[in-house]
Amino acid sequence: MRTIVPRPSTHFRVPDREIQGSRFGLPVAAFAIAFALLGSTMLTGCASVPESREMQRLRVQEGFGRKYEAGDDDEFRVAPRDGIVIQSLNYTELNLQQQIGPDGRITVPLIGSVHIAGLTSKEIEDLLTKLLSDYMKKLDLVVLVNVKASKRIFVLTPKTGRTVALTGDQTAFDLIMSSTLPLFSDTSKIKVLRADPVAPEVFYYNHYAMVHRGDSSTNIQLRADDIVSIPYTPVGVAFDLLDKALIPFKLFGAAMSTLVRGLLIPAQFRGLDEVAERIEQGQNVGGRNGSVFF
């Protein structure tokens, strides 16, 4: 007994008209399916951008060992090298200052070592109150962060690079006013780079306008791990290039100076035997600045 399978229809219904499948239906259907798949892919890609960015951010933090980073709107979270003050009204033995160790821990009476890195001051209060409740009653703890040494800013000049502790409410103006800048630094084009794996940000701070005209429109609030780059003025760039071009001549001059000084310094002793003999006799064998000349 034969089974008859009906053939699929070669007609596709579209708005306002019917198109014969044998000539136009398949191309139109393929285009419709491809368009739908493309739209779905675009929507999926757009939806995954925040997640992808967050994953990249976490990978960057993990790669640099950033275990205690907080968001822009979060409270300050302590990290190694930060210092805290613990105060208690009822138990004076708990009044102490502690610096968080490299392992993220502090030492507290009765309970010993406690890991607090990554917590806010309120979370530290709650944790210590819970751990000490077995030994003390009516605890009234207050935890303050008095040293914020874990958050840093990187300052780059044409000659040097250094790190500066981020003390909290700090702006670009505060940083430049507390820094010693090289000669011919261009304070009108200071660049602040905020690194990010997906959307890095670049700001320009005009310190010259801030100081001479009171224009604070470019003064920005600094964040942890900001990179502040201070360039040279055109005159500074020219002097820097000239200094680099003169390096071979400086080295040659230093070598010739050493050679000439060696030839001009008279030999005071004939050898080590004479030096040893004079030392035995208690005579002075020191030359200039206590050295011994031969």
* pLDDT per residue as tens digits for the range 251-269: 888 888 887 776 655 555 5
CATH entry, 83-147, from 3.40.50.880, 3.40.50.300, 2.40.50.100, 3.30.1950.10? 3.30.1950.10
Q: How confident is the model at residue 114 (pLDDT cuts 50, 70, 90)?
A: very high
Does the global pTM surpass 0.75?
no
Residue 179: burial class (beta carbons within 10 Å; 0-12, 13-18, 19+): middle
Whole-number pLDDT of residue 36: 57
* pLDDT per residue as tens digits for the range 15-36: 444 444 444 454 555 555 555 5
What mean pLDDT value characterizes the chain?
74
Compare 276 and 81 and report the one with higher pLDDT: 81
Find the mean pLDDT for residues 62-82: 61
- Tokens 């640099």 belong to residue: 64
* pLDDT per residue as tens digits for the range 79-112: 888 899 999 888 888 898 989 998 899 999 888 9
Tokens of 152: 């840093």
Domain 152-236 - what CATH class?
A: alpha beta
Say how far apart CA 125 and CA 227 lie, in whole Å.
Answer: 33
Whole-number pLDDT of residue 19: 42
Find the mean pLDDT for residues 173-181: 87
* pLDDT per residue as tens digits for the range 34-47: 555 555 555 444 44
Say how far apart CA 274 and CA 292 lie, in whole Å.
Answer: 12
Say how far apart CA 280 and CA 290 lie, in whole Å.
Answer: 17
For the chain, the domains span 28-66, 83-147, 152-236, 247-290
Say how far apart CA 275 and CA 25 lie, in whole Å.
Answer: 109
Whole-number pLDDT of residue 294: 41
